[in-house]
Amino acid sequence: MPLKMGSLVDGRYRITARIGHGGMAEVYEANDIIKKQVVAIKLIREDVMANPINLKRFENEATIAASLNHENIMKVYNHGTIDGRPYIANEFIKGQTLKDVLDFRGVFKISEAISIMLQLASALDYAHMHNIVHRDVKPDNIYLLADGTIKLGDFGIAEADGLNRQTTLSNDIVGSVHYLAPEISRGKPATVQSDIYAAGVTFYEIITGHVPFEKDTPINVAVAHIKEKFPPVSKYISDCPKEIEKIISKCTKKYHRDRYSSAKQLFNDLELIKNNQSILKREKRNIFARIFGFK
């Protein structure tokens, strides 16, 4: 049953609007009458709740995300149950996902992408330092605010203490196939480097508008990530700065030991580019070169 407008959840959250309906949950806008702020109430769907794995993932998101406090990670303020159905009180975000933006307006400029990736690397580094592997980094799970701030969300399949115990919620391979590191498709546990691989694919997608392997079936995509050479950015952007190519290439090496050993290292390399204005000026010059035919 959907929540009624004006109803009070846990004596605290006044429901004001229904703002979304996804595969896992219904999402409502609400006023927190105690803290005097707007929140998003994420309520698991009744049909989804019947599957114990889905229920575990929803509860997993509530407990793991609630333990994190970072400016680029969606905040979880509270969680509980409504008539036996778990809910999460999230930070209310006025923005679109990176995927929404890609679908609406097309690719991001290199300078925009660097800003996004710096924030994503910072969020991942913070999560990893708290022994949490996200396992589902992709444009659909990254929100972009009007001021350019990004928020990483959806910790439903994240792995707490993954750096130490490397446990999983089930024996299934979970995550989105276009962003899965080769070792995960081989059935290996997720690690920091798996998140870094997915971040590299995300970087690739937001500047090219394409995922690296566009195959006809999920299995063929997974096999391509394992066996095929990762396509260079220059396949779509002939004049992409070589520094960007190098970062994406290092993120997406086939073997995890060849990637960045930490999201902090990725952040540092991105920051070097951000602070090197000649690279960004080169981007502008290359745009004119494509238009007017000069170098």
Residue 258, in any domain of the structure? yes
Token pair for residue 243?
A: 């520094």
pLDDT value at position 53? 86
Inter-CA distances, 122 with 177, 231, 267, 268, 270, Å: 24, 26, 7, 10, 11
Q: Cβ of 282: how many Cβ atoms within 10 Å?
A: 16
187 plus 275 within the same structural domain: yes
CATH of the domain at 69: 3.30.200.20
Tell whether 3 is covered by a domain.
Answer: no
Look at residue 101 and tell me if it is in a domain. yes
Q: Which domain holds residue 255?
A: 95-292
What's residue 284's pLDDT?
A: 55
For residue 274, the tally of other CB atoms under 10 A from its CB is 15
- What is the mean pLDDT, run by run of 10 residues, along the chain of 295 residues? 89 92 85 95 89 86 88 93 90 92 93 96 97 94 95 85 44 73 92 97 97 92 94 91 95 96 97 84 52 44
- Total residues found in the chain within this entry: 295
Do 58 and 133 sit in the same domain of this protein?
no
**Predicted local distance difference test score (pLDDT) of residue 144:** 96
d(CA 125, CA 133): 10
Q: Are 160 and 64 in contact (CB under 8 A)?
A: yes
Please state the pTM of the whole predicted model.
0.87
Question: At which of 22, 56, 91 does a domain end?
Answer: 91
Residues 145, 282 within the same domain: yes
Q: Say if 1 falls within a structural domain.
A: no
Catalytic residue IDs:
136
Indicate if 80 and 200 belong to the same structural domain.
no
